A and B are shown apart, each in its own frame.
Chain A
Amino acid sequence: MNPFLAVAILVCTAGLLFVLPLLPALVELRRKSDALPLSVVQQNAGEIRHFANSFRDYIKDLEPIMQVCVAAGTSATGTLPDGEEYLVLGRLDEPLMRALAQRDATHPVVIAAGADLIAPPHSTFSRDIYAGGNFQGGEKNNYRAILGEKDVRLGASSRVMRWAHAVGEFTADLGCGLFGRISSDSLIRLHANCSFLRLNAPRIEVGHAVNREQGLPDSGFPSNAGVLPRFLHDGDFEVHAGQIIRSNMVIRGRLLLCSGARVCGSVKSLDDMVLEDDVSVEGSLIGARKLSIGPHCTIRGPVIAERELAIAAGTRCGAREHPTTVSAPSIEVEEGVLVFGTLWARERGLVVASP
Chain B
Amino acid sequence: MIYVLYSIVFVICIYTGRHYWFTLNRLFGFQRHPYIDIDTADWPPVTVLVAAHNEEKVIANILDALMTVKYPVDKMLVIPVNDRSTDRTREIVDKFVEDFPGRIQPFHRVGGKGGKAAALKDAMELVTTEVILIFDADYLPGTGLIKQLVAPFFDLEVGGVMGRVVPMNVGANLLTRLLDLERSGGYQVDQQARMNLRLVPQHGGTVAGVRLSALREIGGWNENSLTEDTDLTYRLLLNGWKTVYQNRSECYEEVPEVWPVRIRQIMRWAKGHNQAMATYGFRLLLGKHRATLRERIDGTLLLGVYAMAPITLVGWALALAVFYQGVAPLHGVIAVLSLTAYAALGNLAAFFEIAAAARLDGTRKRVALLPFLILGFAVSIFSVSRAAVSQLSDLVTGAEFHWDKTERFRKVL
Contacts and interface: CB of A to CB of B under 8 A. Distances in A.
A301 interface: yes
B130 A224 contact: yes
Interface in B239-272: 240, 250-252
B194 interface: no
B251 A29 contact: no
Interface string B31-72: 010110111111010000000000000000000000000100
Interface string A327-352: 10000000000000110101000000
A325 B156 contact: no
Interface in A189-245: 200, 224-227, 230, 232, 234
- The size bracket of the interface on A is 35 or more
Given A36-B171, A43-B142, A302 B41 contact: yes
Nearest to B147: A45
Contact of B290 (A24, A234, A341, A346): A234
Interface string B164-181: 001111110010010010
Contacts of B169: 37
Contact of A21 (B39, B168, B211, B371): B371
B370 interface: yes
A36 B143 contact: no
Nearest to A341: B40
Contacts of A234: 290
A323 B41 contact: yes
Nearest to B177: A35
Contacts of A250: 156-157, 240
A250 B211 CA distance: 15
A225 B41 CA distance: 13
A342 B39 contact: yes
Given A38-B361, A324-B41, A342-B39, A268 B166 contact: no
Contacts of A232: 240, 290
A324 B171 contact: no
Given A34-B366, A37-B252, A268-B157, A29 B40 contact: no
Contacts of B333: none
A34 B169 CA distance: 13
B282 interface: no
A38 B170 CA distance: 9
B42 A325 contact: no
A209 B27 CA distance: 42
B372 A25 contact: yes
Nearest to B212: A226
B34 A301 contact: no
Contacts of A176: none
A42 B168 CA distance: 12
A25 B370 CA distance: 7
A22 interface: yes
B211 A29 contact: no
Contact of A323 (B34, B42, B250): B42
A142 to B, nearest CB: 26
B365 interface: yes
Contacts of B32: 306
Interface in A231-265: 232, 234, 248-250, 265
Interface in A274-305: 283-284, 286, 288, 300-302, 304
B360 to A, nearest CB: 11
Contacts of B155: 266, 268, 284, 286, 304
B130 A230 contact: no
Contacts of B156: 225, 230, 248-250, 265-268, 283-284, 286
A46 interface: yes
B368 A286 contact: no
A99 interface: no
B288 interface: no
B234 to A, nearest CB: 18
Contact of B250 (A29, A38, A200): A38
B40 A323 contact: yes
A341 B41 contact: yes
Contact of A35 (B131, B290, B366, B370): B366
A25 B368 contact: yes
Interface-centre pick from A36, A46, A227, A288 (highest chain B CB count, 10 A) = A46
B144 interface: yes
A29 B174 contact: yes
A61 interface: no
B368 A324 contact: no
Contacts of B34: 286, 288, 304, 306
Contacts of A323: 40-42
Contact of A25 (B44, B151, B157, B369): B369
A28 interface: yes
Contacts of A187: none
A25 B34 CA distance: 38
Contacts of A341: 40-41
Nearest to A287: B34
B397 interface: no
A226 B39 CA distance: 19
Contacts of A43: 142-143
A325 B155 CA distance: 13
A28 B369 contact: yes
A12 to B, nearest CB: 20
A40 B154 contact: no
Contacts of B40: 200, 318, 323-325, 341-342
A325 B371 contact: no
A46 B371 contact: no
Given A200-B40, A226-B213, A234-B290, 11 more contacts: A25-B369, A28-B365, A37-B167, A37-B169, A41-B250, A42-B142, A45-B143, A224-B130, A230-B156, A342-B37, A344-B39
Interface of A: 21-22, 24-25, 27-29, 32-38, 40-48, 200, 224-227, 230, 232, 234, 248-250, 265-268, 270, 283-284, 286, 288, 300-302, 304, 306, 318, 322-325, 327, 341-342, 344, 346
28 contacts: A22-B371, A22-B372, A24-B368, A25-B369, A28-B366, A28-B368, A29-B372, A34-B365, A38-B170, A45-B70, A45-B142, A45-B143, A47-B70, A200-B39, A226-B213, A230-B156, A232-B290, A267-B156, A284-B154, A286-B154, A286-B155, A286-B156, A302-B41, A304-B155, A318-B40, A324-B42, A325-B37, A342-B40
